[in-house]
Structure 1
Amino acid sequence: MPDYQLLVFDWDGTLVDSVARIVESMRAAADACSLPQLDEVAIRGIIGLGLPEAIRALYPALESEADIAVFRQVYSDHYLCLESTPSPLFDGVLESLLAFRAQGYRLAVATGKSRRGLDRVLAGHGWLDFFDITRCADETASKPDPRMLREILAHCGVAPAQALMVGDSPFDLLMAHNAGMTAVAVGYGAQPLTVLQEYRPHLAIERFAGLGQWLGQECNRERREVGEHAVG
């Protein structure tokens, strides 16, 4: 049974309730660029990717780098306006993260956000020094490439088998699989568990607090197994 040491979290849709703002900002950028409006399901389907990759996935006909840059700028400006009040944490996130730290877990973030965007929202929550390490799509490779997870593992000196990735998108789960890490799906963010189960996560939860409960059960099971082996 793995002895987990490192917990890595996606940001949008996993720790913070920001999916609706992402959808609204994508639609505002599409309007500004005279592009067709896509339904919410399509937009939710790209959450987790880096912004350039997300734009290309939604609008493959948008080939000019200049046009993509305009889309990115409108999206970023609109999202920044909405984030004048930071997106709220999901229920149970703060309490659980504080408990994980107290229990000795290393904590990290792996996100499709830009470094500038993540640092801004971390500052808004007073969390600039909260995590051991954070990695963003614009400073490494976009999900589902495992590069950002490998960089986090190297920084923390933790083996893949001793780490897990928690996310709300298929890209999070695929990235975890590609890095050889345990994948945990949350069903309250960008995608429901009916979609995420297709990517075979090790654990699927509907509430963030369920992660702490499961980790506690895993620890208790390990202690029992060690005790039984010692007695035997």
Structure 2
Amino acid sequence: MRDFDLLIFDWDGTLCDSISRIVTSMQEAALDCGVVPQSSDAIKSIIGLSLHEAIRILHPELRPDISVEAFGEAYSARYVAADAVPSRLFEGVPSALKRFADSGYQLAVATGKSRRGLNRMLRQHGLDDFFDITRCADETAGKPDPQMLYEILEHCCVSASRALMVGDALFDLRMASNAGMRSAAASYGAMSRDLLAAARPHMIFDRFQELESLLLREPQSIGMNEYV
């Protein structure tokens, strides 16, 4: 008997290789708004939060005439322009997702992206109708609040004990913990392996194919000590 019925994925840095594009777009938006851009590491540290929350953390110095909303619009314009050439999915993601679905897993996305942004990405990769449910930060509470996970669990009729949250950021792992859910950390995304390991996920993987092997092997028994 497998350990999970539902796999919930973060998008940026977990399924999609979009971290560098987020960093560049945020730095360009800062220049557009007349503020000093933050470093790549600083920007990576907030990836996973809702856009407006990320901007508030990165740029508390915003002047009264430059609002968080205006900065967000500048960022979105830069990102959408760059996204004329879609960010690629990480190696092994399309085939693994299909194998998960064919094996009977329910699949979901829980992301800090906007609904408009996620829908564009799903369309670009031919995944419009692939996931059982997707939830975005602009339609529910943002990470690490567990509300989007609760909504996914309710929709899929699955208990937290039978679901796995898969992400590349501490916000993903904390959200899972707040929902009473196990988590898997992708070490190739926004945050380092050591930082993720300190948050005590139930497994860490360095390539998406490793997650596929762990979840589809028989018999399956996933324990923290084996993988972290």
TM-score (normalised: structure 1) = 0.92
Is the contact between residue 33 and residue 66 of structure 2 (CA under 8 Å) also seen in structure 1?
no
Contact 2:167–2:186 at 8 Å: present in 1 too? yes
Query: Does 1:129 find its partner at 2:129?
Result: yes
- Deviation, 1:221, is 4.2
Q: Shift of residue 62 of structure 1? A: 2.6
Please state how far the C-alpha of 1:32 moved relative to its aligned partner: 1.0
Question: Which residue matches 1:116?
Answer: 116
Cα distance in 1 for residues equivalent to 2:28 and 2:220: 50
1:203 aligns with 2:203: yes
| Structure 2: distance between partners of 1:81 and 1:54 | 20
- What is the identity, as a one-letter code, of the residue corresponding to 2:156? C
TM score, norm. by length of structure 2: 0.93
1:102 matched to 2:102? The reply is yes
Q: Which segments of 5 or more consecutive residues in structure 2 lack a partner in the other structure? A: 222-228
Please provide the CA RMSD for this pair.
1.5
Change (3 A) 1:170 1:216: same
AA aligned to 2:136 is C
Residues 2 and 162 in structure 1, CA contact (< 8 A), matched pair in contact too: no
Alignment partner, residue 18 of structure 1: 18
Q: Tell me what 1:140 maps to.
A: 140
SS in 1 for 2:219: helix
Larger radius of gyration: 1
Give the corresponding residue for 1:225: none
Matched, 1:220 2:223: no
Structure 1 9/221 Cα, relative in aligned 2: closer, same or farther at 3 Å? closer
Per-residue Cα deviation, 1:100-136 (whole angstroms, up to 9, x for no partner): 0000000000000000111111111111100000000
- Does the residue aligned with 1:142 lie in a helix, a strand or coil? coil
Q: Is the 8 A contact 1:165 1:181 kept in 2?
A: yes
Q: CA separation in 2, counterparts of 1:143 and 1:63?
A: 26
1:37 is aligned to 2:37? yes
Q: Partner residue of 1:47?
A: 47
Deviation at 1:79, TM superposition (A): 0.2
Distance 1:36 1:97, change over 3 A: same
Q: Which has the higher helix share?
A: 1
**AA paired with 1:177?**
S
The answer as to whether partners of 2:35 and 2:62 remain within 8 angstroms in 1 is no
Aligned-residue identity in percent: 53
Separation in 2, partners of 1:140, 1:110: 10
Code of the residue aligned with 2:155 in structure 1: it is: H
**Cα distance in structure 2, aligned partners of 1:193 and 1:221:** 24
Aligned to 1:169: 169
Please report how far the alpha carbon of residue 64 of structure 1 lies from its aligned counterpart in structure 2 after TM superposition.
4.6
Cα distance in 2 for partners of 1:66, 1:36 equals: 13
Give the gaps of 5 or more residues in structure 1. Answer: 223-232
Q: Displacement, 1:61?
A: 2.7
Query: Where has structure 1 moved over 3 Å in runs of 4 or more?
Result: 63-66
- Offset of residue 63 of structure 1: 6.8
